[in-house]
Amino acid sequence: MKTLKKIYMNKIKRSDFILKPFLKRNNFKALYQLITTLIPIISLWFFVHKIVYSPLLPITKGFLLIPILFLLTLLSSRTFSLMHDCGHNSLFEKRSLNNLFGFFLGLLNGIPHKPWANDHAFHHRNNGNWEIYKGPVDVLSLEDYKALTKREKIIYKISRHWLMLLPGGFYYLVIKARLGLVIIIFNFIKSLIKESFIKIKKRDYSELLKIQSRIKPPFSDYGDNFDELFDLIANNIFVISGWIIMCKWLGAVFFLTFYSLILTFSAAIFICIFFIQHNYENAYASSTKNWDIVEGAIFGSSNLDIPNWLNWFLADISFHSIHHLSERIPNYNLRACHKANIHLLQKSKVLKLSDFPNCFKYIIWDSKNENLIPIN
């Protein structure tokens, strides 16, 4: 085994890591993870139904619903984490199963799986290259930030404050995919009317039925191609249908309020985790010219020292350097792979829960010195 001194005197290579034994996917482990996640979710919703229609006082119902809200929020975060693995084709052995269950898990959180997976793959291809990938909050370079007006700087700071995780989470899961489809339909109708008038004016009636000329990607943030468009449409059909059924089962006002809270807090959790795993003090923040994908994985991805129970809900995504070195390693192998390569990760960043708030200061990229700097 190479000594630490030799490893860090020379540039760390991907081949230095023991990864291959941990790439093996297991359908039984994947199914077990799904079952142990979905059964508690289904059971908790039946408890919610019993509480809602019980003769208990409203204040008593509220006290009983609070811990259920807490658990459903964490379980929602776990379904997102499992969907994340499906997006990397790492949860199940076959891509078809990952696509199928990824789509299903996306329904639980209102996220179209395929568009999300494609967007997330872009992050993995460019992690640590802040000239190309600006992170989940679209970080500005120092030069661009200085060029903002005083009012724009205030808006920039406020919009990236950690308190914005809540409205941002609500928008991300509840609104974004629905709004994306509305925008696509609106643009299609607008284009249809415009082109129809042009064809009629030119008396070119044979072209009126050629719909291909009126539907061209990209359609919206969730529709860069036709596959993503179909996934977005299918997601919305199933999600909205599910919401209607749940509204009839639990009452529209209660369900929409309760479920919106679950999705808001759940999204806030995984957006927070995603943010702090890439925005922190001394994070690797290279330009395209000097960027190295392995260094981006090791030094541009933090590993989290958090309680085991929280790791379970996050499907071990806290072992993030290994995840970026090889996204095909399933979550149920991440911890073991991290331990097997711990000697190579001693200079990677480790964050505790107490470190999280400080990470939200690092929202400016200093392109000259290639690092993230705190905002004043």
User: Edge-to-edge, what's the strand order for the sheet holding 371-374?
Assistant: 140-141, 362-366, 371-374
The reply to whether 328 falls in a domain is: yes
pLDDT tens digit sequence for 275-309: 999 999 999 999 999 999 999 999 999 999 999 99
Which of 43-47, 98-102, 222-226, 341-345 bottoms out in mean pLDDT, i.e. has the lowest? 222-226
pLDDT at 4: 35
Whole-Å CA distances, 371 to 153, 284, 322: 20, 6, 22
pLDDT at 121: 94
pLDDT at 41: 98
pLDDT tier at 224, thresholds 50, 70, 90 = low
The reply to whether 206 falls in a domain is: no
Which of 89-98, 99-108, 181-190, 272-281 bottoms out in mean pLDDT, i.e. has the lowest? 181-190
Contact assessment for residue 231 and residue 114, using Cβ atoms and an 8 Å cutoff: yes
Which of 26-35, 87-96, 208-217, 331-340 bottoms out in mean pLDDT, i.e. has the lowest? 208-217
CA 13 from centroid of its chain's CA atoms:
28
pLDDT tier at 3, thresholds 50, 70, 90 = very low
Contact assessment for residue 45 and residue 39, using Cβ atoms and an 8 Å cutoff: no
pLDDT at 7: 39
pLDDT at 221: 60
The reply to whether 191 falls in a domain is: no
Q: For the residues of 317-350, what is the DSSP string, one character each?
A: TT-HHHHHH-TTS-HHHHHHHHHHTGGG-TTS-E
pLDDT at 332: 98
CA-atom Rg of the chain in angstroms: 23
pLDDT at 233: 93
pLDDT at 271: 95
The reply to whether 302 falls in a domain is: yes
pLDDT at 8 over 50: no
The reply to whether 233 falls in a domain is: yes
Rounded to an integer, the average pLDDT of 215-237 is: 76
pLDDT at 192: 75
pLDDT at 50: 97
pLDDT at 300: 95
Reported in sequence order, the residue ranges of the chain that DSSP labels E, i.e. its strands, are 140-141, 303-305, 350-352, 362-366, 371-374
pTM for the structure as a whole: 0.89
Residues near 300 by Cβ (< 8 Å), separated by ≥ 6? 127, 128, 278, 283, 284, 285, 286, 324
Rounded to an integer, the average pLDDT of 253-261 is: 97
Contact assessment for residue 341 and residue 20, using Cβ atoms and an 8 Å cutoff: no
Residues 140-143: contacts with CB under 8 Å, at least 24 apart: 140/363, 140/364, 140/365, 141/364, 141/365, 141/366, 141/367, 142/364, 142/365, 142/366, 142/367, 142/368, 142/373, 143/367
Distance CA 149, CA 146 (A): 8
pLDDT at 21 over 60: yes
pLDDT at 54 over 90: yes
The reply to whether 73 falls in a domain is: yes
Distance CA 365, CA 373 (A): 6
> Residue 290, SS3?
coil
Rounded to an integer, the average pLDDT of 250-259 is: 97
pLDDT tier at 9, thresholds 50, 70, 90 = very low
Domain residues for 131? Answer: 4-166+225-374
Contact assessment for residue 348 and residue 295, using Cβ atoms and an 8 Å cutoff: no
pLDDT at 253 over 70: yes
pLDDT tier at 185, thresholds 50, 70, 90 = confident
Contact assessment for residue 78 and residue 314, using Cβ atoms and an 8 Å cutoff: yes
Q: How many domains does the chain have?
A: 1
Distance CA 365, CA 349 (A): 18
Percent of the chain past pLDDT 70, that is, above it, reads 90
pLDDT at 5: 35
pLDDT at 51: 97
Residue 301 has which token pair?
């991805």
Rounded to an integer, the average pLDDT of 149-163 is: 94
Q: For the residues of 6-27, what is the DSSP string, one character each?
A: HHHHSPP-GGGS--GGG----H
The reply to whether 194 falls in a domain is: no
Rounded to an integer, the average pLDDT of 309-319 is: 97
